[in-house]
Amino acid sequence: MRATVYHGARDMRIDHVPDPTIQAPTDVIARITHACICGSDLWPYRGIDANQSGGRMGHEWMGIIEEVGTDVRNFKKGDRVISPFTISDGTCEFCHKGLQTSCVNAQFWGGLTNDAGQGEAVRVPHADGTLLALPASVENDERLLKAILPLTDVMVTGHHAAITAQVGPGSIAAVIGDGAVGLCGVIAAKRLGAERIFIIGHRENRLKLAQQFGATDVITAQDEQAAQEVREKTQGGAHAVLECVGTVDSLNTSIRLTRPGGAIGIVGAPHLSALPDLGYRFFQNITISGGIAPARAYQPELLQDVIAGKIDPSPVLDMTVDLDGVPAGYAAMDAREAIKVMVRP
Amino acid sequence: MRATVYHGARDMRIDHVPDPTIQAPTDVIARITHACICGSDLWPYRGIDANQSGGRMGHEWMGIIEEVGTDVRNFKKGDRVISPFTISDGTCEFCHKGLQTSCVNAQFWGGLTNDAGQGEAVRVPHADGTLLALPASVENDERLLKAILPLTDVMVTGHHAAITAQVGPGSIAAVIGDGAVGLCGVIAAKRLGAERIFIIGHRENRLKLAQQFGATDVITAQDEQAAQEVREKTQGGAHAVLECVGTVDSLNTSIRLTRPGGAIGIVGAPHLSALPDLGYRFFQNITISGGIAPARAYQPELLQDVIAGKIDPSPVLDMTVDLDGVPAGYAAMDAREAIKVMVRP
């Protein structure tokens, strides 16, 4: 089969790789119908994270099950499934708690060990614990499938930011970052009842989309200036801050615009170049929470709302490519010409 | 009157200073009967924090009101009061939320602006919002007064660590640091229902006291070794970690021994020399909370329990000095010959 393989910074190739086969009785094989390129894929693409050459790419995918291991109980051939962006066994303490990312058997998609989403097919380890079946009613509804696809990562990640930032009815929320996760964070904050939602970013088309999703206030200033504007407009800061970037500047901006006693939900993978302002955090009793989103825990609830038409994150997918178009998709996201790329292998 | 004045590293003196007078109608004047030297006073004592020379010292005190401003409603001459370690107006959004440390009119005791606890008397700004009256029944009960005195700081600070670390019935708690705050953190964790309480420290007499207070497991290893021991003994780490030191090493130890999805309540004033391991925090969804304790919010509840004999933090006060003995008290705490010094001016 063909799949996206990392050969170094800015060198993604569509290579011929071995077809996946069942290796353990808990595996399934799925044919990929939809996948995405993630903002976090840009870290290795840009050479900031050192991925190993030859590793597979893509942790966001939807597909149809083609083959089922003998111990798999929840799925059969022909089922349409979505995957969370991590693999989990579904049976350990942390899976039962809804923290599947800390599963004692957690694995990531791709790299040198596993298949990955940006290809024709995948072997799915721990299929029963990992995958979520979609109802038959969604089949052939391409508009709905596109709205469901972000539940593989960005929509659940934005939701995790909102949950861990403790957004609730009446909250003043602030979202740092206007990438796909930040935009989904706006959807999530609105869904959880935020009364006022600041979006801090600087790309006009994305900020407009944020407003469509429910942002009430747009801040285009950066760093301390952005924090000051939010503090002034709210007489003290936002109760709930969704940190959707991961740099030390974005973390410091988050800390500085949080209301005393408020909380920050961090979902931007941390790439910190300096000590963040944990002194201010301390004296204002600001809670830093969040982390890698336990996508599998949130998918059922959010899927219901997508199917019911209550939320629709599909506008973040503003470019579509086939497998041969994946390298161009990376380049478009790197240049910020696309918010997020959908792949149809 | 006489009061403790900072003249530089390891140079505390008992100087003659002006008697306090009412300056605003919301002030009271109190005569100090009991005060403490705080572990955090050691930061300037050791020259690590640069206090201004000439500044007053002491933020933990109990006393008798001698004079009352015309707008003070809650207190009268002769009332015995305890103070939290910060001053707050009692009327703003944050005071109403129980986050008096972020009061819009918050002030600290001492320095060049305010009187302070390690002296004969103090002017108390915003007396109605700041002070807590003790019932007449405690008067002349020196044992009980000594048990109440830690509610000015260390006992409420240990409690804040436990609350923000989310200790609850059945929790596995871990307390980093065997100073007075850490020891009070053990009392607080037990009071909140922790089933197992690790104390991480290295002074034998303090670890014994921790066990008297309810610690079930003593760890004398440091850093990653300590974290590994806790992870092994708990199959994954503590649910609730009370960080009662404030260095980057103690924060990293805290992060590394927290169970995935758990929480750290930081009450050690941050003196961070390097970037803490926020990457591990991210991937294990560990919440970092806590901060400067809103003592005034917790004092009424904890006072009830001290008076009822349910908790008794007085053993942390293992040395008593008069005002002339304050410099020797600092030296004893600096040399770790005393856990915490009580001052009887």
Considering only the C-alpha atoms of chain B, give the largest distance between any 2 of them, rounded to a whole number of Å.
Answer: 61
Query: Are residues B292 and A276, on separate chains, in Cβ contact within 8 Å?
Result: no
Contact A287 B288 (CB under 8 A): yes
Report d(CA B326, CA B344) in Å as an integer: 10
- Hey, how many other C-beta atoms are within 10 angstroms of the C-beta on A272? 18
Predicted pLDDT at B301: 98
Total domain count, chain B: 2
The answer to whether B149 and B81 have CB atoms below 8 angstroms apart is no
Give the distance from residue B88's alpha carbon to the nearest chain A alpha carbon, in angstroms. 14
Give the pLDDT confidence score for residue B50 in this predicted structure: 83
Which amino acid makes up residue B288?
I
Contact (CB, 8 A) for A244 and A161: yes
Taking all residues of chain A, what is their mean pLDDT, rounded to a whole number? 97
Query: Is the pLDDT reported for residue A50 higher than 90?
Result: no
Q: CB B97 to CB A261 under 8 A? A: yes
> Residue A235 is part of a domain; what is its CATH number?
3.40.50.720
* B269–A278 C-beta distance less than 8 A: no
| A271 → chain B, closest CA residue | B279
Co-location of A124 and A164 in the same domain: no
Q: What is the distance in angstroms between the Cα of A19 and the nearest Cα belonging to chain B?
A: 31
**Residue B341, token pair as written in the block:** 């010094």
Both B11 and B127 in one domain: the answer is yes
Q: How many CB atoms lie within 10 A of CB B24?
A: 13
How far is Cα B102 from Cα A279, in angstroms, rounded to an integer? 14
Chain A residues inside the 8 Å CB shell of B281: 288, 291
Q: How confident is the model at residue A341 (pLDDT cuts 50, 70, 90)?
A: very high
- Give the closest-approach CA distance of A79 to chain B in angstroms: 31
Task: Measure in Å the smallest separation between the Cα of B19 and chain A Cα atoms.
Answer: 31
In terms of domains, do A329 and A241 share one? no
Structure tokens at A195: 């009364």
Query: How close, in Å, is residue A291 to chain B by CA atoms?
Result: 4
Choose the final residue of a domain: A290, A317, A335.
Answer: A290
Give chain A's contact residues with B (Cβ, < 8 Å): 93-94, 97, 99, 101-102, 164, 236, 260-261, 266, 269-270, 272, 274-276, 278-279, 281-292, 294
Distance CA B304, CA B298 (A): 10
Q: Whole-angstrom distance between the N-terminal and C-terminal Cα of chain B?
A: 11
Task: Answer whether A287 sits within 8 Å of B102, measured CB to CB.
Answer: no
Question: Best residue in B287, B296, B298 to probe A by mutation, most A CBs within 10 Å?
Answer: B287
Q: Output the pLDDT for position A322.
A: 98
Q: Mutate which of B286, B288, B292, B296 to test chain A, going by most A C-beta atoms within 10 A? A: B288
Q: In angstroms, what CA-CA distances link B271 with A153, A172, B204, B283, B331?
A: 36, 31, 25, 24, 21
Q: Determine the pLDDT at residue A197.
A: 98
Calculated CA dihedral for residues A244, A246, A247, A248, nearest 10 degrees: 100
Measure CA A230 to chain center: 26
What are residue B278's phi and psi, to 5 degrees? -75, -15
Whether B282 and B335 share a structural domain: no
The number of residues in chain A equals 345
For B289, the closest of A94, A269, A287 (CB atoms) is A287
- Determine whether the interchain pair A284/B97 forms a contact, defined as Cβ–Cβ distance below 8 Å: no
Q: Which helix (H) or strand (E) holds A256?
A: helix A248-257
Chain A residues within 8 A of B294 when measuring between CB atoms? 285
> Measured between alpha carbons, how far is A161 from B170 in angstroms, rounded to an integer?
28
A286 and A302, same structural domain? no
Residue reference for tokens 């478009």: A332
Same domain, A53 and A146: yes
**Residue B51 pLDDT:** 87
From A252, A272, A290, the end of a domain falls on A290
Provide the residue type at A160 as one letter: H
Report chain B residues whose CB lies below 8 A from the CB of A283: 101-102, 291-292
Angstrom distance (rounded) from CA A207 to CA A220: 9
Considering only CB atoms, B270 lies closest to which of A278, A287, A289, namely A278
Which structural domain range is residue B82 located in? 2-153+294-343
Best CA proximity match to A179, nearest among A267, A51, A239: A267
How far is residue A30's CA from residue A69's CA, in Å, rounded to a whole number? 12
pLDDT in tens, A190-211: 999 999 999 999 999 999 999 9
Of the residues A95, A282, A283, the best mutation for testing chain B's interface (the one with the most B CB atoms within 10 Å of its CB) is A282
Joined tokens for residue A58: 């893509």
- List the beta bridge partners of residue A80: A64
| B231 shares a domain with B329 | no
Measured between CA atoms, the residue of chain B closest to residue A290 is: B285
Q: Are residues A141 and A13 in the same domain?
A: yes
Cβ–Cβ below 8 Å for B102 and A275 = no
Confidence (pLDDT) at B178: 97
CA distance B156 to B101: 13
Inter-chain contacts counted by CB atoms under 8 A, chains A and B: 89
Structure tokens at A74: 């929840």
3-state secondary structure of B249: helix
**B138, B148 in Cβ contact below 8 A?**
yes
Yes or no, beta carbons of B285 and A292 under 8 Å apart: yes
* Residue spans of chain B under pLDDT 70: none
| Residue A140: Cβ-neighbour burial (10 angstroms; 0-12, 13-18, 19+) | exposed
From the list B77, B79, B76, the residue with the least C-alpha distance to B66 is B77
B186 in the same domain as B108: no
Question: Region A280-289: what's the mean pLDDT?
Answer: 97
d(CA B16, nearest CA chain A) in Å: 32
Burial of B331 (0-12, 13-18, 19+ CB in 10 A): middle
| Same-domain pairing of B146 and B8 | yes
Interface probe with B: pick from A96, A285, A289, A296, most Cβ of B within 10 Å: A285
Residues A270, B291: C-beta atoms closer than 8 Å: no
Q: What's CA B44's distance to the chain center, in Å?
A: 16
CA B340/CA B38 separation, integer angstroms: 7
Query: Are residues A129 and A249 part of one domain?
Result: no
Rama region for B166: left / alpha / beta (φ>0; ψ in -120 to 50; rest)? left
Q: Residues B204, B126: one domain?
A: no
Using alpha carbons only, give the angle A278, A281, A283 rounded to the nearest 5 degrees: 115
**Which residue has tokens 């973390």?**
A251
Which chain A positions have a beta carbon within 8 Å of B289's beta carbon? Answer: 285, 287-289
Q: B287: which chain A residues are within 8 Å (Cβ-Cβ)? A: 164, 287-289
For A71, phi then psi, to 5°, come to: -95, 5
ipTM greater than 0.85, yes or no?
yes
Q: Distance (Å, rounded) from C-alpha A272 to C-alpha A13? A: 29
Q: Of A246, A266, A290, which residue is a domain's last?
A: A290
Task: Compare CB distances from B261 to A97, A286, A287 and report the shortest one's residue.
Answer: A97
Are B236 and A93 a contacting pair at CB < 8 A? Answer: yes
